[in-house]
Amino acid sequence: MQEQTVAIKGIKDGLLISLSPTEEWLAITADLAARIDQQSAFFAGARITVDLGERPVPKHELGTLKALLERRGLTLWAVLSDSSTTIDAAMALDLKTSTANPIPGRESSEGTEVSSQEEGGVGVLIKRTLRSGRSVRSAGHVVVYGDVNPGAEIVAAGDIIVWGHLRGIVHAGADGDETAVVCALNMNPTQLRIASYITTSPPEKRRKPSPETASVRKGQIVVETWSTG
Amino acid sequence: MGAKVITITSGKGGVGKTTTTANLGIAFARMGKKVVVIDADVGLRNLDLIMGLENRIVYDLVDVIEGRCQLRQAMIKHKQFAELFLIPSAQTRDKTAVSPADMIQIADKLRPEFDYILIDSPAGIERGFRNAIAPADEVLIVTNPEVSAVRDADRIIGLLEANNKGPGKLILNRVKAEMVRKGEMLSADDVTDILAIKLVGIVPEDETVIPASNSGIPVTLNENSRAGIAFRNIARRLTGEEVPFMQLEETGTFLQRLMRLFTGSQSSE
C-alpha cells in the first residue's frame, strides 16, 4: 500500500485525521475534502481531531481547514502538533491542543513497546509568558515555560506546572480529578483551583520565593515547598 | 531609510498617552529632528489641545482618508518648531472611519520626509488601537504605577506580540517617589517584574504638567520641570543614546536616607 497523505482512524474522542507533514498544504486539504465527500455517511457529524505532525500551520490556514470541515458538518475539536506555530494557531482559534485519551503511538513513535518507559500523560507546553487576557484550556496537563501574569488563566484536566512566576488564575483537575497538582517556581496565584476546591494566595507574602506545589489533602488545598521524593 | 513610526499606547485611559506623544514630539523637534505627530483617537480629539494648535485645524485625518484634502493640507505646523507637524484627528466621527490599511498608507507617504512619526493611540484594545499600531515600527506602552494600569499594559503587550509588533518599550508615568518609598505605590521594579519589557523612561509626578497641557505649551518646553527632563531623556534614549535614569528622589545625606528607611516618614528634604 502506498504511503497515505491523509490517514483516518477512529479514536475514543471521535475521528483522528493525520495529515502528512511533508505534502503540499493545498493538495493535502483538497485530498481531505475529497475523502470526506466520498464517504460522507461515515464522517457525518463526527468530532474531528487533526494531527498535523511537525508542519507549522499559521492561523489563517488552520482557519481554512476548520471551515472546510464545518462546511461538511464536522466539528474540528482538537489539533495535535509538534510545531509551536500550529499550537499557537490552534489556541488562537480556541481549539484543544490535546485529547483526553492518549493516542497510541503519538507521543513517542518508537517507545510504545519498551516496557521500561514511563507512559506519560498528554500535555501542552507553552514556551512563553501568558499575559493578561490569555486563556489556555487543555484536556491534559499544561506546562508553562514562563510566567502566568494576573488576568491570565489556565484550565486543565490534569496538572499545571509553571516554570516561572504564577500570578494568574489556574484550575487543575478541572474535570474533577482531585489528585491533580499545581507547581510553580514562584507561587502567587490570584486564585488556585483543584477539582472543586478553591483557594487564594495570602496577601503580601514577602518571603523569598521558592518552588512550591499545591495539592488537595483532607478536603483542602495545601501548598508546600517542593521537594523531590 | 525614512522615518521611524512610533505608536504610543496603553490600554487604560488617562495614563498620559497624549501628554507623552506631545512631549516626545517636541523633544524630538528640539533635537533638530523632523517630526509628525498623528492623533489616532478619532472622535476624542485631544493632541491638538495639548500642543496648542486647536484653532489652526482646517482639515483632519479623516478628511485625508476620505479624499477631501491632500495630506499636506491636514498637517499643522507647530508655532515654535518649523519641522514639527500635527495631523489632528476628526472630532465628529468614530474609529470606523479609519482602517489599519489607511494608517499604513498615510505613514508610508510621510516616511521619506521625516525622521519620526509619532502616533497617539486611543485607549482600549479595539479598532482604534489596531489602527494606531498597524504602521508602527516600534510601540511605546505608557503605564502608571497602579495595578489596573499595569494589568491593561500587560494585555496590550500580549496583543502586540500576537500582532508581531511586540513586545514594545515601557514608559512609567506619574511616579511619586515619596509614595513608592512608603510602599504605597508600585515601584519601577515591581512593574517591570510583571511586564518584563524594556523600560525607556520613568516620568515623575509633576504639578507643572497639567497647567502646561492646559495652556498648550507641553512641559518639555519648561527647562526646569522634572517631567520635562524625563521626556527629553526618553527622546534621547529612543534615538539610541545612553542616558542614565534620573534620580527620582531628592537625595539627602546617607544618614537622612537611613532615617527615612526606618521611619518611613517624610524627613527634611
The pair phi, psi for residue B170, each rounded to 5°, is -110, 135
Question: How far does A93 lie from chain B, in Å, by closest CA?
Answer: 13
C-alpha cell at B254: 546617607
Best A132, A135, A153, A204 member to test B by mutation, with max B CBs in 10 Å, is A132
* Strands B198-204, B169-175: pairing kind: parallel
Question: How far does A14 lie from chain B, in Å, by closest CA?
Answer: 31
Four-point Cα dihedral A158, A161, A165, A169, nearest 10: 0
Q: Which of B155, B194, B196 sits opposite A133 (nearest CB)?
A: B155
What residues of chain B lie within 8 A of the CB of A133, using their CB?
154-155, 158-159
| H/E run at residue A118 | none
What residues of chain B lie within 8 A of the CB of A128, using their CB?
161
Provide the 10 A C-beta neighbour count for residue B184.
11
Residues in a beta bridge with A208: none
Non-local CB neighbours of B158 within 8 Å, separated by 6+ positions: A130, A131, A132, A133, A134, B166
Interface of chain B against chain A, CB under 8 Å? 147, 151-152, 154-155, 157-159, 161-162, 193-194, 196
CATH number of the domain enclosing A12: 3.30.70.260
Across the interface, whether the CB atoms of B159 and A150 are under 8 A apart is answered: no
Q: What is the pLDDT of residues A130-154, one digit of tens each?
A: 999 999 999 999 999 999 999 999 9
C-alpha cell at A10: 477512529
Question: Which of these three, A120, A136, A160, is where a domain ends?
Answer: A120
| H/E run at residue B200 | strand B198-204
Per-position pLDDT tens, chain B of length 269: 599 999 999 999 999 999 999 999 999 999 999 999 999 999 999 999 999 999 999 999 999 999 999 999 999 999 999 999 999 999 999 899 999 999 999 999 999 999 999 999 999 999 999 999 999 999 999 999 999 999 999 999 999 999 999 899 999 999 999 999 998 999 999 999 999 999 999 999 999 999 999 999 999 999 999 999 999 999 999 999 999 998 775 555 566 656 655 655 443 33
Instruction: Say if residue A103 is in the same domain as residue A132.
Output: no
Question: How far does B183 lie from chain A, in Å, by closest CA?
Answer: 12
Residue B163 lies in a domain: yes
Distance CA A9, CA A15 (A): 6
Are the CB atoms for B40 and B12 separated by under 8 Å? no
Instruction: Say if residue A72 is in the same domain as residue A139.
Output: no
Question: How far does A94 lie from chain B, in Å, by closest CA?
Answer: 15
Burial environment of residue B250 by CB neighbours within 10 A (0 to 12, 13 to 18, 19 or more): exposed
Residue B9 lies in a domain: yes
- Domain total of chain A: 2
Question: Which of these three, A120, A143, A169, is where a domain ends?
Answer: A120
Across the interface, whether the CB atoms of A167 and B152 are under 8 A apart is answered: no
CATH number of the domain enclosing B13: 3.40.50.300
Provide the 10 A C-beta neighbour count for residue A155.
19
Residue B269 lies in a domain: no
Q: What is the pLDDT of residues B138-193, one digit of tens each?
A: 999 999 999 999 999 999 999 999 999 989 999 999 999 999 999 899 999 999 99
The pair phi, psi for residue A29, each rounded to 5°, is -70, -35
Closest residue of chain A to B197, computed from CA coordinates: A129
Instruction: Say if residue A19 is in the same domain as residue A95.
Output: yes
Residue B19 lies in a domain: yes
Closest residue of chain B to A133, computed from CA coordinates: B155
Are the CB atoms for A58 and A25 separated by under 8 Å? no
Question: Which of these three, A120, A153, A183, is where a domain ends?
Answer: A120
Per-residue exposure over B48-82, b if at least 16 CB sit within 10 Å of its own CB, e if not: bbbbbbbeebebbbbbbbeeeeebeebbbebeebe
pTM, rounded to two decimals: 0.69
**Which 3 state secondary structure label does DSSP give A27?**
helix
Give me the interface pTM, i.e. the ipTM: 0.74
Say which amino acid occupies A151: G
Residue B150's domain comprises 4-263
Instruction: Say if residue A129 is in the same domain as residue A115.
Output: no
Residue B166 lies in a domain: yes
Best B151, B154, B193, B195 member to test A by mutation, with max A CBs in 10 Å, is B154
Residue A223's domain comprises 121-229
On the question of pLDDT at A108 being above 60, the answer is: no
Across the interface, whether the CB atoms of A151 and B155 are under 8 A apart is answered: yes
Closest residue of chain B to A166, computed from CA coordinates: B194
Question: How far does A140 lie from chain B, in Å, by closest CA?
Answer: 24
- Give me the total of CB pairs closer than 8 Å, taking one residue from chain A and one from chain B: 32
Distance CA A224, CA A188 (A): 12
Across the interface, whether the CB atoms of B154 and A92 are under 8 A apart is answered: no
Instruction: Say if residue A97 is in the same domain as residue A200.
Output: no
- Domain total of chain B: 1
Residue B197 lies in a domain: yes
Residue B268 lies in a domain: no
Q: What percent of chain A has pLDDT over 90?
A: 40
Distance CA A66, CA A92 (A): 13
Distance CA B118, CA B134 (A): 13
Interface of chain A against chain B, CB under 8 Å? 92, 128-134, 147, 149-151, 165, 167
What residues of chain A lie within 8 A of the CB of B147, using their CB?
150
Distance CA A125, CA A128 (A): 9
Are the CB atoms for B31 and B75 separated by under 8 Å? no
